[in-house]
Structure 1
Amino acid sequence: MSQIANYSAHAVLKDGTPVQIRALRASDEADMLAAIKRTGPQSLQSRFFILKRHFSEKERAFFMDVDFSTHVALAAWIEERGRPAIVGGGRYVVTNPGEAEMAFVVVDAWQGRGIGSLLLRHLIDIAREQGMRELTAEVLSDNASMRRVFAKSDFRPARSDDPRTVRLTLALGPA
């Protein structure tokens, strides 16, 4: 397993809230599922493109079985009511050599505070270190807030095969 499996960084949100961005661990499954339960149906639809409330064992295994080589996942942790809680997550999955697709979800109560942007910046840095040349994301056309997050990091629109989505790409260049 790669050194990224131990990735951890501390930051402060725009409102002064401390946040830890760290590699998702198998032991985080209960916390991740708790975060999903706190995420509204509209946010989950924006992430999965369908109304999603439950995950099969196969889906749960995919989300938690992160090898930090072809599948990198980070979680944003914040102290809530005296204990750490996952409030967002981001990942990329390698689709072709040097290319990966990204996805994010942020718990509704924490949206608009910079967590998505923070996760994106950390994943871009990791992707560069890992030699990725291009990152892509599929975003629902009406998900203006996530499109802005990607645009701030210089992602550009590309052709999408699905009229409901916008394909965004970021060229990273050689590592």
Structure 2
Amino acid sequence: MIDAASYTRRDTLRDGTSVEIRALHPEDEVEMLAALGQTSAQSRRRRFFVPKQHFSDRERDFFMQIDFEHHVALVACVDDAGIVGGGRYIVAEPGRAEMAFMVIDAWQGRGIGGLLLRHLIALARDARLGELTAEVLPENAAMLRLFDRFGFVRAKGWDPDAIHLELKLT
């Protein structure tokens, strides 16, 4: 079994840029907040479904204190830019987890979301999860295309303002 808490892999973006996909660590908090500061209001709304300006202490704790069993979080790091994106899944019920991603604006469209998604799917399969889900705003065409490329299908969801996607892993 893969140790998600110490997960680290080198990968290459479409343009040849080397990127490290690794587990999020508590000491990454300052850099993660800085990365969030490099995202537009539109990107934050697409991720959080509200125009998020800042995070409470409780929210920061939730995002940074990862158990790597029920909550798995990875970051994408580029040598000269630091953390440029992150993704996670959170087990919502036994065998099923919800995914979410964010890539800073300057790095969007370069393949980081796809790398994070591929690595998270591998970790979810290794953890023997049966299904991954995601909620995506209808306007977020790039994310919808990404999930479609990885085999996610539309299904009935709980949020009427979002598109619910599912990927069966078994």
Give the TM bin, normalised by the shorter chain: over 0.9
Which of 120, 124, 129 is the aligned partner of 1:123? 120
Q: Which runs of 5+ in 2 are unaligned?
A: none
Count of paired positions: 169
- Of residues 100, 108, 127, the one that matches 1:103 is 100
Aligned to 1:19: 19
Given candidates 126, 132, 139, the residue that maps to 1:142 is 139
How many angstroms apart in 1 are the aligned matches of 2:165 and 2:159?
Answer: 13
**Structure 1 stretches lacking a partner, 5+ long:** none
TM-score using structure 2 length: 0.97
Could you tell me how far apart the structure 2 residues matched to 1:8 and 1:134 are?
23
2:158 alignment partner in structure 1: 161
Residue 163 of structure 1 and its aligned partner are, at CA, apart by: 2.5
TM-score, normalising length from structure 1? 0.95
Aligned equivalents of 2:157 and 2:10: distance in 1? Answer: 35
Give runs of ≥4 in structure 1 deviating > 4 Å.
Answer: none
Question: Aligned residue for 1:69?
Answer: 69
Residue 135 of structure 1: SS of its match in structure 2? Answer: strand
- Give the aligned partner of residue 28 of structure 1: 28
Question: How far apart, in 2, do the equivalents of 1:87 and 1:146 lie?
Answer: 16
158-167 vs 121-130, which deviates more?
Answer: 158-167
- How far apart are the structure 2 equivalents of 1:8 and 1:162? 34
